[in-house]
Amino acid sequence: MPVLCQLANPDTYQVSTWNLMDSEEDAAYWLALFAGFPGRSDRYLLEDGLAGPDFSRRWLAFATEYAERLEMIRVEAERTGRLYTIDLCRFRWDMLDRHGFPDPCAGVKQRENDVAVTLYPEVVQRVDALAGRHRWELLLKGILAGNMFDLGSPETMAMYQRGEADFFGFLECVPARPWFIDHADVLLSGLNGRARWRQVLIFVDNSGADIVLGVLPLARELGRQGLRVALAANRTPALNDITIGELRPLLERVAGMDPVLSDLLTSGRLVAIDSGNSYPSIDLSRVSEECDAAAAESDLIVLEGMGRAIESNWDASFKCDVWRVAMLKDESVVRWRGAKLFDAVCRLESPVVA
């Protein structure tokens, strides 16, 4: 698999420079969070009728080996002094796949997509009622509000289980500007009017409100302004992240309700591609051929979501403009960045010219 061609320093690229072992508190937090995964995830399979035959025995076998191997990871991390969140993500999904549970959140994703699709017409109606900068500001708030649907953070998991994952409620709760990192004025000046970019490659994050009510209205407006937009989704499941196999039919479904989106898909100005990745964090040293080809034609890369933009690729440099956009929803990530819970990141960077 190729290294993303837009990386400025591919030979020294690191997925993440955040070593959890630099902080005893962070290491303990993440190991405990992953240790609790089997105890809180079987409910998704059971509630959605995806458990399959002999579930109790199979899940117990998974949970037992999972705990044993996680302990081995802890011991090795203490020996080497190195542990990264993507290591834990790889371990978790390798174990799920090994035991025949490749996508425990499949039912959750489908339900949330169904809910979001019913809200989509109202969202784009609100967008289309505005003009100029006001329209872009609503779209920007929308992508932050949508990013609150995340089953990888204890805070947002609890919201989901309490039935509080409401897009319009989240929209009202997006923090007032200035945000924790706020390059929105520069970003909006490049979008409002004649856009400074020709093609945008967006590494998308979660299912439900995130993709349908946050990313798609933004992609729709980018396309309407004349930009080509490529949405890069995971190849295989990871928590509630949308996969390419889910994204393509979802796009067709939403396009059936929206002539603007339908025209973008038909004309090829909006496409969905396989990123080649399989985890909530994204490793740009291993992407699909079609993702790399799209990157070569793009002059703006968007890393959307805490896993792709913050926990990984925070220090990566690119040959083109890069926009990192996410809500900070995890207490350890917040502590690491010196922010507050539910702060917003809107970070736009251009290549450094020697």
Share of the chain above pLDDT 70, in %: 98
Burial of 327 (0-12, 13-18, 19+ CB in 10 A): buried
Measure the CA–CA gap between 326 and 303, rounded to whole angstroms. Answer: 8
Q: How many CB atoms lie within 10 A of CB 129?
A: 10
Measure the CA–CA gap between 258 and 304, rounded to whole angstroms. Answer: 24
Indicate the length of the chain as a whole number.
Answer: 354
Confidence at residue 49, expressed as pLDDT on a 0 to 100 scale = 87
- Here the tokens at position 232 are 């890069």
Measure the CA–CA gap between 279 and 239, rounded to whole angstroms. Answer: 8
Measure the CA–CA gap between 120 and 217, rounded to whole angstroms. Answer: 8
CA angle 309, 318, 345 (to 5 degrees): 30
Instruction: List Cβ neighbours of 52 (8 Å cut-off, separation of 6 or more).
Output: 45, 58, 100
Confidence at residue 51, expressed as pLDDT on a 0 to 100 scale = 86
Measure the CA–CA gap between 235 and 279, rounded to whole angstroms. Answer: 9
Confidence at residue 28, expressed as pLDDT on a 0 to 100 scale = 97
Domain 106-146+175-349 -> CATH class: alpha beta
Give me the sign of the Cα torsion angle 183, 288, 251, 205. negative
Confidence at residue 353, expressed as pLDDT on a 0 to 100 scale = 57
* Nearest CA among 43, 51, 35, 65 for reference residue 101: 51
pLDDT beneath 70, residues of the chain: 157, 160, 164, 352-354
Instruction: List Cβ neighbours of 41 (8 Å cut-off, separation of 6 or more).
Output: 104, 105
CA angle 217, 223, 229 (to 5 degrees): 90
Q: Which neighbouring-strand residues pair with 300?
A: 200, 321
Confidence at residue 164, expressed as pLDDT on a 0 to 100 scale = 67
Question: What is the residue extent of each domain of the chain?
Answer: 17-98, 106-146+175-349
- Here the tokens at position 226 are 């004349």
Confidence at residue 57, expressed as pLDDT on a 0 to 100 scale = 96
Find the Cα–Cα–Cα–Cα dihedral 335, 302, 284, 37, rounded to 10°: 50
